[in-house]
Amino acid sequence: MESISTYENPILTCQSDAAWPGYGFGDPFVMRHNGVYYLYCSTKDGSVGIKCWSSPNLVDWTFEGFCTNNPVTRGAYAPEVYYYNGYFYMYTSPAGNGHYVLRSTSPTKGFQVVTPNMGMTIDGSVFTDNDGKWYFYCAGGGAMNVYDMTKPTQMRNGRPIPSVSVNGGWTEG
């Protein structure tokens, strides 16, 4: 019988000092910028702030601390970060109560809220097409919803994508 070796990424060890106690690292998102990887995860319900890590190789991770402690990040679900024109834009849905966009000049600190609550459901994600157009996808009732983005902080023309659901109708972006 062949020996099979496995590897467990140390950032996903829930015993880590950087993990949310009793929660761990939900909904991890990784972004690469200038050869460095950045990881963001959901915030434990009831807690405030979004944690960030960096890595040169996706194996060795450094906890960077909180990239924001803004009160709207209480229970922030599935934060995702995208770089555009000198800014990092973070999209997150605090406790599933709509979406906010935060912005910073650094991927690891200083994210500030730049939009009011835009509504919509959880786990939003940005997609940039080959033609340069941006789209925002998020969960919807029995479907996923897609919104045209006219700029990183503006979504419009929301519409459902029928027949895209999982778990008997519960869909995440």
Long-range contacts of 126-134 (CB under 8 A, 24+ apart): 126/80, 126/82, 126/89, 126/91, 126/152, 128/82
Neighbours of 82 (CB within 10 A): 17
Mean pLDDT across the stretch 74-101?
95
Write down the pLDDT at residue 172: 58
Q: What is the pLDDT of residue 44?
A: 92
pLDDT score at 163: 62
pLDDT at 103: 98
> What pLDDT score was predicted for residue 41?
93
Nearest to 109 by CA among 64, 67, 159: 67
Q: Tell me the pLDDT tens digit for each residue of 137-163.
A: 988 777 788 999 999 999 998 888 876
pLDDT digits (tens, 9 = 90+) for 43-82: 999 999 999 999 999 888 899 999 999 999 999 999 999 9
Other beta carbons within 10 Å of 113: 16
Q: What does the block give as tokens for 141?
A: 């009732």
